Amino acid sequence: GGFGSGRILSPSGKALEIFDPDVQEFPELQDVRIYEGEVKAGDVIYVPSGALHGILNTEATFAATSNSLWPPLTSHYAEVCTKSHFARRCKRMLKDTYLGACEVDGLNPFDDSTIEEFTKCALHSKANIELGQARSYVDKKGFRDIFLWELFRFTSYEDFCLAVCSKYLELDYTKSKQGPEQEAVCKRQCKVLGSRNGKPST
């Protein structure tokens, strides 16, 4: 068993299909407790740190995460990646997340000091500094959780929503007759959601 091209492999080299698992190839899955549910608009699901999880989108959607750039998780991100022996291409992700500013080749799963050094570099990297969160976290002054739309420097959720919709329409509906209809839906929903999400707190 192991990892190949970012996928979990059985001893015979077969890749795990999480939504249609082969228990002959992965017999340990018979002992795994699985929680399954459907998340709808407005729902939030908590996934404990390090928990294996899978997501199946049943319709066109988009997702965004900023976990690796949230300062309190920087050390955890580096540690999990390193101690998994850089599974699922996370070594490259560590390098790319911090714009190549921090040395990843020196990370050693058996030497915690290498993870500490990487974390210090990551927190002071251009990627984190430009987001304006790392400095306040390191100095323990004025750090607060922020919304994803604030992270990307939008002045309101509605503006962020419209920008995301625009990209989504560009990718999926450029040549479709449904384009104008989808654009109208986007604008309506962004306006409604924007009214619920307010302005950044100071």
Give the pLDDT confidence score for residue 47 in this predicted structure: 77
Global pTM?
Answer: 0.49
Averaged pLDDT score across all residues of the chain: 78
**188 φψ region: left (φ > 0), alpha (ψ -120 to 50), beta (else):** alpha
- Please choose, from the candidates 149, 162, 165, 144, the residue with its C-alpha nearest in 3D space to the C-alpha of residue 197: 149
pLDDT 10s digits, 44-53: 787 776 677 7
pLDDT 10s digits, 174-188: 556 777 787 888 888
pLDDT at 195 over 90: no
Q: Looking at beta carbons, which pairs linking 190-196 to residues 24 or more positions away fall under 8 Å?
A: 190/157, 190/158, 190/161, 190/162, 190/165, 191/158, 193/157, 193/158, 193/161, 194/156, 194/157, 194/158, 194/159, 194/161, 195/158, 196/157
